[in-house]
């Protein structure tokens, strides 16, 4: 089925060609060595990918959520973990600044981020506050013309390699009194903590951000004081739609690999594809992927029309995340012992897919959002 118009299809082809050349050949070794593909990241700038949603006056491509999602899908068909870092940069940092910051802040930070001269990330999660993000404890206190931040953020994508972070901190005593700050890695009192070793998404560096009396100029407060819950929600909404593109890319890569394998591998004098049990799995994977695409691009198009219903992104993310993990597990099963080895990419697809059920809000939190909408709670 077609979900994209002619221009979007052309963009998908351009991104796919780029990813096949720049990401695919490196994916296995970068997973093994847990290293970031900096060259490929920088090479995305001339294609306009690093500011896919940002305005042209800052160097952006001024495209929509549909385009951002299809870019995620096509990149992650080749390397999901580079795509996760790309998402943290483009959606969590660049788009957050685009949507919420002042013109002066945009002029200061966006051109370098979009040109790939600096790498961005976003810090919301803390050791004691994940799903319950309003329980965050990082505090910012005004002192003269500065804010002083204390606390620790964890699981931050691009934490170990980032230059600029959009960070949320508590600025009042009420639960919702949270503000957004732009933090540069050289601000006094800021340092990155330990890099985390992960099951999957290993080419995407994840780590802690530590604020020890970190001094932030008041010009780096984004929007109004105590008014950032709306920033968080807006950004989470588009994050959940676009991250669904990563699940689609992973499931699509798994299906492609599995189809080829079952036609080549022979047992009992026949290709595996002639066994009905194999055909059933391929049929389920293909149907799941089609349903995931329909749901995701319908949520993306609704977003582009101005519909900000959070349950649409939650549904797309919940369905596609589970679908990608299922595809990964079925893919391994179809390859048998070979699927379980690291000589074949399918186990990597499965390890990468599992993150989709946790990051940007867990499956359980997606169900809460959907149920609240359905039951009008």
Let me know: does 290 contact 255? Beta carbons within 8 Å: no
Total number of residues shown for the chain: 377
DSSP H or E stretch at residue 297:
helix 276-304
Query: In the complex with ligand FAD, which residue's Cβ is closer, 293 or 348?
Result: 348
Rule CB under 6 A: say whether 35 interacts with ligand FAD.
no
CB of 368 to ligand FAD, least distance (A): 6
How many residues form the binding site for ligand FAD (CB under 6 A)? 23
| Whether residue 77 lies in the annotated active site | no
Query: In the complex with ligand FAD, which residue's Cβ is closer, 16 or 235?
Result: 235
Rule CB under 6 A: say whether 157 interacts with ligand FAD.
yes
Q: x/- string (CB under 6 A) for ligand FAD, residues 56-95?
A: --------------------------------x---x---
From the list 65-73, 109-117, 245-253, 359-367, the region that binds ligand FAD by CB under 6 A is 359-367
Query: In the complex with ligand FAD, which residue's Cβ is closer, 15 or 356?
Result: 356
Let me know: does 229 contact 176? Beta carbons within 8 Å: yes
Q: Which residues contact 128 (CB under 8 A, 6 or more apart)?
A: 135, 137
Q: Is the dihedral of CA 127, 128, 129, 135 positive or negative?
A: negative
CB of 367 to ligand FAD, least distance (A): 8
Whose CA is closest to 176, among 94, 231, 235, 117?
231
CB of 67 to ligand FAD, least distance (A): 22
Which residues are 152's β-sheet partners?
A: 210
Residue 96 main-chain phi, psi, to 5 deg: -65, -45
CB of 128 to ligand FAD, least distance (A): 8
- Strand ranges (DSSP E) for 176-265? 178-184, 190-195, 206-217, 221-222
**Residue indicated by tokens 């407060």:** 221
Query: In the complex with ligand FAD, which residue's Cβ is closer, 135 or 188?
Result: 135
| Residue number closest to ligand FAD, CB atom | 130
CB of 77 to ligand FAD, least distance (A): 19
When binding is defined by CB under 6 A, the residue of 29, 117, 364, 371 that contacts ligand FAD is: 364
Q: x/- string (CB under 6 A) for ligand FAD, residues 120-139?
A: -xxxxx----xx--------
Q: How far is CA 293 from CA 3, 123, 286, 298, in A?
A: 8, 29, 11, 8
Rule CB under 6 A: say whether 355 interacts with ligand FAD.
yes
Q: How far is CA 342 from CA 240, 324, 338, 339, in A?
A: 29, 18, 8, 8
Query: In the complex with ligand FAD, which residue's Cβ is closer, 160 or 331?
Result: 160
Report which DSSP code applies to 136.
Answer: -
Q: What is residue 332's three-state secondary structure?
A: helix
Catalytic residue among 22, 67, 239, 357: 239
Q: x/- string (CB under 6 A) for ligand FAD, residues 203-222?
A: ---x----------------
Rule CB under 6 A: say whether 365 interacts with ligand FAD.
yes
Query: In the complex with ligand FAD, which residue's Cβ is closer, 92 or 255?
Result: 92
DSSP sequence for 260-272: HHHHH-EETTEEG
DSSP H or E stretch at residue 19:
helix 6-22
Residue 223 main-chain phi, psi, to 5 deg: 70, -155
Record the tokens describing residue 260, joined without a space: 């080829």
Query: In the complex with ligand FAD, which residue's Cβ is closer, 115 or 368?
Result: 368
Residues marked active site are found at 239
The residues that touch ligand FAD, with contacts defined as CB under 6 A, are 88, 92, 121-125, 130-131, 155-157, 198, 201, 206, 355, 358-362, 364-365
């Amino acid at each position: 089925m077609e979900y994209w118009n002619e221009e979007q299809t052309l963009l998908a082809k351009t991104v796919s060609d780029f990813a096949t050349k720049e990401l695919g050949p490196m994916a296995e070794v970068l997973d093994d060595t847990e290293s970031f593909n900096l060259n490929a990241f920088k090479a995305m700038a001339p294609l306009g990918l690093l500011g896919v949603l940002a305005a042209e006056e800052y160097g952006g491509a001024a495209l929509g959520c549909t385009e951002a999602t299809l870019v995620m899908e096509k990149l992650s068909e080749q390397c999901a973990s580079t795509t996760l870092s790309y998402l943290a940069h483009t959606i969590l940092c660049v788009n957050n600044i685009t949507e919420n910051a002042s013109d002066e802040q945009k002029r200061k930070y966006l051109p370098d981020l979009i040109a790939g001269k600096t790498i961005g990330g976003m810090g919301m999660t803390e050791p004691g506050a994940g799903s319950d993000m309003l329980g965050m404890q990082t505090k910012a206190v005004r002192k003269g013309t500065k804010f002083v931040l204390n606390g620790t953020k964890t699981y931050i994508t691009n934490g170990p390699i980032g230059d600029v972070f959009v960070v949320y901190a508590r600025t009042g005593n009420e639960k919702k009194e949270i503000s957004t700050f732009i933090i540069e890695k050289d601000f006094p009192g800021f340092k990155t903590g330990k890099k985390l070793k992960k099951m999957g998404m290993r080419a995407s560096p994840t780590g802690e951000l530590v604020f020890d009396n970190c001094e932030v100029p008041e010009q780096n407060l984004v929007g109004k004081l105590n008014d950032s819950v709306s920033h968080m929600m807006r950004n989470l909404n588009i994050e959940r739609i676009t991250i669904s593109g990563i699940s689609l890319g992973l499931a699509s890569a798994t299906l492609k690999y599995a189809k080829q394998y079952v036609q080549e591998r022979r047992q009992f004098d026949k290709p595996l594809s002639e066994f009905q049990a194999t055909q059933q799995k391929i049929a389920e994977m293909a149907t799941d992927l089609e349903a995931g695409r329909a749901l995701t691009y319908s949520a993306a198009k609704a977003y582009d029309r101005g519909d900000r219903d959070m349950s649409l992104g939650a549904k797309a993310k919940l369905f596609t995340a589970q679908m990608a993990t299922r595809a990964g597990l079925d893919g391994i099963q179809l390859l048998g012992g070979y699927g379980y080895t690291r000589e074949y990419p399918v186990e990597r697809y499965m390890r990468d897919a599992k993150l989709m059920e946790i990051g940007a809000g867990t499956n359980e939190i997606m169900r809460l959002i959907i149920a609240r909408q359905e039951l009008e709670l």
